[in-house]
Amino acid sequence: MAILLTHQDRVIVQGITGNQGRFHTRQMLAYGTPVVGGVSPTKGGSNVEGVPVFDSVKEAVENTGATASIVFVPAPFAKDAAFEAMENGVRLIVMIPEHIPVQDSIDIVNRAKTTGSTIIGPNTFGVISPHERSKMGIMPNHIYQPGPVGVVARSGTLSYEIAFSLSQSDLGQTTVVGMGGDPVAGQTFITILEQFRHDPATQCVVMVGEIGGSAEEEAAEYLSVLGKPVVAYLAGRAAPAGKRMGHAGAIIERGKGTLESKEKALKAHGAEVVTMPWQVADAVRSALAR
Amino acid sequence: MAILLTHQDRVIVQGITGNQGRFHTRQMLAYGTPVVGGVSPTKGGSNVEGVPVFDSVKEAVENTGATASIVFVPAPFAKDAAFEAMENGVRLIVMIPEHIPVQDSIDIVNRAKTTGSTIIGPNTFGVISPHERSKMGIMPNHIYQPGPVGVVARSGTLSYEIAFSLSQSDLGQTTVVGMGGDPVAGQTFITILEQFRHDPATQCVVMVGEIGGSAEEEAAEYLSVLGKPVVAYLAGRAAPAGKRMGHAGAIIERGKGTLESKEKALKAHGAEVVTMPWQVADAVRSALAR
Amino acid sequence: MKQYEYMAKGILAQYGIPIAPGQLVESPDAAAEAVRDLGPVALKAQVLVGGRGKAGGIQFAQTPQEGAHVAQHMLGMLLKGYRVEKLYAEQKLPIEKELYISVTTDRNAKKPLVMASSAGGVEIEDVSDDQIVKRHVDPAIGVLPYFGREMAQALGLHDVVFKEFSELVVKLYRIYREKDAELVEINPLAVVDGHLIAADARLNIDDSALYRHQDVARVDEGSDLEQKVHEIGLAYVELDGDIAVMANGAGMAMATLDAIQYFGGRPANFLDAGGGASVEPTAEALGVLVTMKPKAILVNIFGGITRCDDVAQAILQVRNTVGIPVPLVVRLVGTNEKEGVALLNEAGIQAYSDMAEAAERAVGLAKEAL
Amino acid sequence: MKQYEYMAKGILAQYGIPIAPGQLVESPDAAAEAVRDLGPVALKAQVLVGGRGKAGGIQFAQTPQEGAHVAQHMLGMLLKGYRVEKLYAEQKLPIEKELYISVTTDRNAKKPLVMASSAGGVEIEDVSDDQIVKRHVDPAIGVLPYFGREMAQALGLHDVVFKEFSELVVKLYRIYREKDAELVEINPLAVVDGHLIAADARLNIDDSALYRHQDVARVDEGSDLEQKVHEIGLAYVELDGDIAVMANGAGMAMATLDAIQYFGGRPANFLDAGGGASVEPTAEALGVLVTMKPKAILVNIFGGITRCDDVAQAILQVRNTVGIPVPLVVRLVGTNEKEGVALLNEAGIQAYSDMAEAAERAVGLAKEAL
């Protein structure tokens, strides 16, 4: 079992003829992802790694029945790509690019509420469901294995570190998903936790957070609803104090956003909070044993 | 009985302190309309014709429970006024001003699909329900009387002409509504006919149309669904041929928009089409007798 | 408000849409100069009417002499009823293919509509619907590049033209939206040396939105008389009959023309005095009707916002100043009807309450005047 | 990217938001000249930090002499760690009341957020939430005037200030949206002679959107070294420890600092080599770390997009050119791990696969170096 991405999803790659698109199409195919098409305007009719290339998402969806898209186009074209996918009924859209203007992300994420699409990212490593042998993202293939742990992270490499240590401890994953590192993203800890709640295969959830924002504090209250053990690791204990966004930042945050406030909120709602990434696996093992 | 506007509606007037707003507030009150408030920024706390004035629709709705608003602000401010009403949950919005830029009307009418508001107009004389002793509009009070005839018109004075002649023939009206004379308006003949269909008090419908556009042709097919007799009068038999909107106009219209095509379509679907406004009343009487 | 081709192209160019090099020309000398600057040119009559090419409104010149000669012939000519006062001299393009594109408002869908065809050119109106790609725009989103690409694909375009067309759709929609256009149309959208170029252009601006486009050139395509009435702020169209008509409301004005025709008369004009016109503009409009020297004048008023006493006063004002030397029939009902009728009666003018009766009377008077 | 007050005010003025007359001043003479032009002024240090007033960053001058004197004192002073290089001389305003307004992005709601208070000024951060009016913007609609009026009403404003405030909200949102601002803030928004005027202003532009704002002045507030690394395109922050750190990914870089601290060490910097950096920028970044003369360098790589062999090559390139004269600890796992480790081993550099072990080793080496 898994959340967000299952083997039933048929995946297209927007920007498939670029270096990144091409490379990760190969990686996704190698992992088992049913990549059924790619999109690259004026390159329609060609193929990449045996995958047919179309001029538009519309054409790709019509010809392949695609349900999901992973976007690799350069940041200035990302809004266009996301809207193209949404307006053509793609239900799951993984936005890999970083440096997408925040106003564009705001437009994408708010439009998705109307179209009903699920946006992962932007600036995410993507989503991988090891049981399903399917991934949409840029994560290394070999570090995951199927198992009972759901992982949700804000940061890419840090999640690899943790997924790898889980796998090495024989604690496989249902789904590992990156919310994305940008200020405005399609998912929050809460929306992902909701999904893990309804996935019977997920027995424990690992949250990988950071200083800044207040996503962890917002999520803390949901933990009592979740009904599954949570292990949290938050990076940034030694990080420099973030530079404040004027008075507005202070007014919005009102004391949230520090590592202390986050850890306190999570602990108060029953999460097991560890201080170093290599402590996650042991904490998960204990949680599963309880 | 009536459509669109009933005595249960509580009405506010946006732009109540202007000349038109003030005059028609008096007229609406005289007719019996429950005008419960007016809106005029920075004039909050005063009153017009005994009606309390508020600084915003938000305040007016909170204080009066208003469900409907009639807009009298100058055309350049009409979009703002319409959005203010829609975003504050007003369900029925009558837009009196003419010369509202079409792009503004497009925004208003399309936004209304999301908010669920009903827009009458712009450039309409409004809506009047004689049984209910309620009107939102600029029509003369004395020419209407309660009865079994629904009237929907594109043009104001022409509808007065026809309503008056109906009343003089003792053929009263359920509701008389103006779709508005602008290219883009909130209602079409079809949306109004749908309402008349579900109003048991309406036994016959009069359509007052014109050359140009293809609203009458679009509506013709609905007549079979309507299940009530329809009398149609269309103005423009002797009017000069409209100046075409480039090739685009020709492509869109494809032969529609002429008086002949409209009358032909309406007749084909069972409407009684008369050629002069003074023939409407007799035709209605015959239709009701059948 | 329509823009002349050269104005429309100026705006296209501002938005980065390629146009051919061209010059506005108002004399044979200027035409010769244009050929010297640009090489062989098309001399295109600047008139606000379609089918210009077939009517002789586009002619070619290879040499400066020929340019002067052709311009001499074209300037001042009548084209479908329009006097040619300006020519646009445009470098002659080796057109490989003609496409069509427009953005306009679809009244039924209440949304912007983009239409395009790979069978552009003068015959576009005869092209069958299945050769025209139509797409509505969600105004809350606007046109993003993918929208253009989907149209380009539907048209079967490829490579450079595919990309240029996609970008052009975005720009054309921006013009439509930012300039409050009722219509922006490029026909033909030419392929020249493998690139797209706007070979002709139309741009109609929404009259109601002109207040927010002070930078756009004003054009009034009406006759002198029409322009005069437009300046008063009233809708006016000249017709070829002999009974002058004034009514309040466009629908009422049309119905009045219909009634005149119904009784065998011929209306001389369409004049909508507005839903709520006051004394002064009504008097001015009536004054205009008098100067037309019709055989009769029919004033048809159903007072809603318009007050019948205001109309009566306007009529008396005109009679007492410029005078009304033709038979006048007034039909007056509605708001302040009694006061209005009383005013007219005092001045010896009869007022009808029945529209049919009034129209029939006006037609009768016009016939007597023959 | 933050804008200096004077830049932010320039943009406010472009959008029609009133600002006080002012001049940028970089010398005592210019300050004297400013007082001659403007009368009594406030001399405001142009630094990208809050709480400037309390720290002595705003001083007043009545006369040209006083202006020169104050500027002499202020120019070059250190204000909360920032060197004052420019002053903004602004006509002194007889402020009647101070409001607050800002537009920023609410990350949780994923929407623009407008906040305002009638209790503006330096103490705004201590004002209780019930004195602050907050409204989210639907990005598909934007801010129409009614939105501003509703806020003005919630703030209890009246008459002229009500109207000016309503219009200002529309303009401020346009700046936020059109300039891709992360934050645009006016505090205080002063009432002077019954009218609103922006007495201070902040504007932070989204770094990711700078490419579409070529007209906006570039400001890099980092130290010289930080600016140098930013130019390579990497995220870099100086810290006060002695162990230089490079990792890939911001989260990984933070976790690496955490690990150093965990084992009792002190990190010298934050450096995110990026999720997919190639050989050249990685080598450049490492070169920068060497120039910092730390007690040890810790490179912590978990290869996803980043390939371990690329990192190994970058390390070798730096060692073979500028040299790495301090203890180096490398932790390398993930994509092409074998190839990377082999390259390092061939060159005699040990590679760790365990992050804790590597961090502990780096801390130990730094302590030995004392």
A57 touches chain C (CB under 8 A): yes
% of chain B at pLDDT higher than 70: 94
pLDDT at B244 over 60: no
Q: Give chain B positions within 8 Å (CB) of D145.
A: 77, 80
Query: Tell me, what DSSP letter sits at residue C171?
Result: H
Give me the percent of chain C exceeding a pLDDT of 70: 99
Within this chain, do residues B153 and B278 fall inside the same structural domain, yes or no?
A: yes
C-alpha A130/C-alpha D366 separation (Å) is 41
List, as one string, the DSSP characters of A190-223. Answer: HHHHHHHHT-TT--EEEEEEESSSSHHHHHHTTH
A241 touches chain D (CB under 8 A): no
Q: Is residue A51 part of a domain?
A: yes
Contact C146 A87 (CB under 8 A): yes
pLDDT at B253 over 70: no
Q: Please report residues of D whose CB lies closer than 8 A to that of B81.
A: 146
Co-location of B148 and B205 in the same domain: yes
Contact D180 A101 (CB under 8 A): yes
Q: At A79, which CATH number?
A: 3.40.50.720
Average pLDDT over residues C52-76: 92
State the fold for domain C224-368: Rossmann fold (3.40.50)
**Which residue, B120, B147, B182, sits at the end of a domain?**
B120
Between the alpha carbon of residue A279 and those of residues B123, C302, D181, D271, D355, the distances in Å are 70, 86, 39, 24, 12
Of A160, A161, A183, the CB nearest to D105: A183
Q: What is the mean pLDDT of residues D135-140?
A: 96
Which whole-number Å values give the CA distances from C149 to A17, C170, C353, in the listed order?
17, 10, 61
For residues B152 and B189, the answer to whether their CB atoms sit within 8 Å is yes
Chain A contact set for D298 (CB, 8 A): none
- Per-residue CA distances from D290 to A98, D53, D246, D323 (Å): 28, 39, 11, 8
Instruction: Determine if the peptide bond prior to A122 is cis (ω within 30°).
Output: yes
Model pLDDT, residue B245: 53
CA torsion angle B249 B250 B254 B255 (round to 10): 100
Contacts of C318 (CB under 8 A, 6+ apart): C283, C286, C287, C290, C324
Q: Is D158 on the interface with B (CB under 8 A)?
A: yes
Predicted pLDDT at C50: 74
* Nearest residue in B to D159, CA atom: B42
In the structure encoding, which two tokens stand for residue A214, read together?
Answer: 């207040």
Interface with B, mutate which of C204, C254, C299, C300 (most B CBs under 10 A):
C254
Selected residue of C108, C211, C352 to mutate for chain B interface (largest B Cβ count, 10 A)? C108
DSSP tag of C139 = T
B79 touching chain D per CB within 8 A: yes
Structural domain of residue A223, as residue ranges? Answer: 139-289
pLDDT band at C220 (very low <50, low <70, confident <90, very high): confident
Q: Is the peptide bond before D325 cis (omega within 30 degrees of 0)?
A: no
Q: Is C118 on the interface with A (CB under 8 A)?
A: no
Residues forming CATH 3.30.470.20 domain(s) in chain D = 97-212
Q: Read off φ and ψ for residue D307, nearest 5 degrees.
A: -100, 130
Helical pair A78-87 and A57-64, crossing angle rounded to 10 deg: 40
For helices A78-87 and A102-115, give the axis angle rounded to 10 degrees. 0
Instruction: Give the pLDDT mean for D13-35.
Output: 95
B147 and B111 both lie in a single domain: no
D95-106 and D111-117 beta bridge pairing: antiparallel
Domain with CATH 3.40.50.261 in chain D: 224-368
Q: Under a CB-based contact definition with an 8 Å cutoff, are residues C251 and C275 in contact?
A: no
User: What is the predicted pLDDT for the residue at B247?
Assistant: 66
Number of domains within chain A: 2
CB contact under 8 A, A106 and D105: yes
Chain D residues 289-318 within an 8 A CB cutoff of chain A: 302-306
Most confident region among B249-263, C3-17, C81-95 by mean pLDDT: C3-17
Residues B95 and B227 in one domain: no
In tens, the pLDDT along C87-97 reads 999 999 899 99
pLDDT given for residue A239 in this prediction = 76
Confidence of residue B246 (pLDDT cuts 50, 70, 90): low
Q: Has residue B239 been placed in a domain?
A: yes
> In the predicted model, is pLDDT for residue C332 greater than 90?
yes
Contact D5, D84 (CB under 8 A): no
Asked if A42 and C158 come within 8 Å (Cβ–Cβ), the reply is: yes
Shared-domain flag, residues A156 and A247: yes
Residue C178 neighbours by CB under 8 Å, 6+ apart: none
- Tokens representing D188 are 């205080």
- Interchain proximity C355–B277, CB inside 8 Å: yes
Q: How close does chain C come to A140, measured CA to CA in Å? A: 31
pLDDT at position C277 is 64
What is the pLDDT at residue D306? 81
Q: Name the CA radius of gyration of chain C, rounded.
A: 25
- Do the domain assignments include residue A3? no
**Same domain (yes/no): A115, A250:** no
Task: Tell me if A4 is assigned to some domain.
Answer: no
- 8 Å CB contact between D276 and D335: no
* CATH classification at residue A210: 3.40.50.261
A248-281 confidence digits (pLDDT tens)? 666 666 666 788 889 999 999 999 999 999 999 9
Asked, for residue B133, whether it belongs to a domain, the answer is no
What ipTM is given for this predicted complex?
0.92
Query: What is the per-residue DSSP string for D328-341?
Result: EEEEEEETTHHHHH
Handedness of CA A102, A107, A108, A113 (dihedral sign): positive
One-letter amino acid at A274 equals: V
Residues of A whose CB is below 8 A from C141: 83, 87, 111
Compute the average pLDDT of residues D293-321. Answer: 90
Which among A191, A126, A214, A182 has a CA at the least distance from the CA of D250?
Answer: A182
The answer to whether A80 contacts C146, with C-beta atoms less than 8 Å apart, is yes
What pLDDT score does C268 carry? Answer: 93
Task: Name every chain A residue with its beta carbon within 8 A of the beta carbon of D250.
Answer: 155, 181, 210
Residue C276 reports pLDDT greater than 90: no
Q: Is C185 on the interface with B (CB under 8 A)?
A: yes
Residues A115 and A160 occupy one common structural domain: no
**How confident is residue D138, by pLDDT bands cut at 50, 70 and 90?**
very high
Task: State residue D81's pLDDT score.
Answer: 78
Boundary (domain end) residue, out of B92, B120, B148: B120
Residue corresponding to tokens 């508001």 = B117
Handedness of CA A196, A202, A205, A209 (dihedral sign): negative
Q: How confident is the model at residue B108 (pLDDT cuts 50, 70, 90)?
A: very high
Q: What percentage of chain D exceeds 70 in pLDDT?
A: 99
Q: Global pTM?
A: 0.93
Confidence (pLDDT) at C113:
97
Measured distance CA(C203)–CA(C234) in Å, rounded: 23
Q: Which pLDDT band holds residue D186 (cuts at 50, 70, 90)?
A: very high
Q: Are residues B223 and B278 in the same domain?
A: yes
Q: Please report the pLDDT score of residue B240 as a whole number.
A: 67
Side chain identity at D346, as an amino acid letter? Answer: E
User: Which of B120, B151, B178 finishes a domain?
Assistant: B120
Please report, as a single letter, which amino acid is at residue C39: G
Tokens (6 digits) for C126: 């005869």
Amino acid at B250: A
Question: Is residue A217 a part of any domain in this protein?
Answer: yes
Decide if C171 touches A, using CB distance below 8 A. Answer: no
pLDDT at D230: 81
B232 bridge partner residues: B207, B273
How much is the pLDDT for D363? 96
B156 with B230, same domain: the answer is: yes
* Residue in C111, C202, C237 nearest the CB of B110: C111
Q: What is the model's pLDDT at position C275?
A: 62
Q: Chain-wide mean pLDDT for chain C?
A: 92
Contact across the interface for A277 and D275, Cβ inside 8 Å: no
Task: Tell whether B276 and B183 lie within a shared domain.
Answer: yes
pLDDT digits (tens, 9 = 90+) for B12-65: 999 999 999 999 999 999 999 999 999 999 999 999 999 999 999 999 999 999
CATH fold of the domain at D21-91:
Dna Ligase; domain 1 (3.30.1490)
Active site residues of C: 100, 185
Same domain membership, residue B69 and residue B162 = no
The number of C-beta contacts closer than 8 angstroms across B and D is 35
Q: What is the pLDDT of residues D97-123, one digit of tens each?
A: 999 999 999 988 999 999 999 998 877
User: And the tokens for C362?
Assistant: 């006006």
Q: Is B86 helix (H, G, I), strand (E, B) or coil?
A: helix
Residue B10 scores a pLDDT above 90: yes
Average pLDDT rounded to a whole number, residues D333-356:
91
Residues of chain A with pLDDT under 70: 240-256
Instruction: Please provide the size of chain C in residues.
Output: 370
Q: Are residues A87 and A150 in the same domain?
A: no
**Is position A263 within any domain?**
yes
The CATH fold assigned to C97-212 is D-amino Acid Aminotransferase; Chain A, domain 1 (3.30.470)
| Confidence band, pLDDT 50/70/90 cuts, at residue C82 | confident
Closest CA to A61 of C150, C114, C137, C140: C150
- End-to-end CA distance of chain A: give it in Å, rounded: 22
A134 in a structural domain: no
Which residues of chain B have a CB within 8 Å of the CB of D133? Answer: none
What are the backbone angles phi and psi of residue D299, rounded to the nearest 5°? Answer: -105, 120
